[in-house]
Amino acid sequence: MDIIKWSEKLMSMDDKSWQRHANPWSVYSRFSALPLISLAFWSREWLGAYALVPILLSLLWVWINPRVFGVPERTDNWASRGTFGERIYLNRHTESIPAHHLRACRVLQALSLAGVPVFIYGLYTLDLATLLLGNLWVMAFKAWFVDRMVWLYMDMKEARPEPEAQ
């Protein structure tokens, strides 16, 4: 199973939402998602069953984030290029991409995914240090993955150019 393709379907990403997600505000604010989800689940200690409200709101933020910001005026930046690279990566089954990028992306995804049990355990036990470690782990490898997507885009933009404002 391709977790990125699955998440794209779950997110209902179309061309318009991808264009909006290329906005740096969308990319950078997306890094708030995991801490917000953490806080929402942690709120079960204070809110009990009402914690469902912040949990649902934090998950809504994950879904709405790529849609809430406008199409960027400029795309000659790290965040936009990372989004373009991710689109190229998502199409890797129909468009060939260099093997060194595939290997690196798979390793980074696996490393990020390896932090999820730490994150979940920290939430389950309400162990702040473990939860922070899980957040940092997942987010650091996600940021590295985005950086790899920039590299992929820069290597592939001649074969598959995206509109890049200057």
Q: How far apart are the first and last CA of the chain?
A: 37
Mean pLDDT of the chain: 90
Q: Could you tell me where the beta strands, DSSP code E, fall in 25-152?
A: none
Which of 137, 85, 147, 143 lies closest to 111 in space, CA to CA?
137
Q: Are 26 and 65 in contact (CB under 8 A)?
A: yes
Which residue in 5, 50, 46, 39 sits closest to 128, CA to CA? 39
pLDDT of residue 27 exceeding 70, the answer is yes
Question: What would the pLDDT profile of 102-112 be if each residue is shown by its tens digit?
Answer: 999 999 999 99
Q: 142: how many CB neighbours lie within 10 A of its CB?
A: 19
CB neighbours of residue 95 within 10 Å: 12
- Which range, of 12-21, 51-60, 61-70, 94-103, averages the lowest pLDDT? 12-21
pTM comes to 0.85
Find where tokens 């404002």 sit: 165
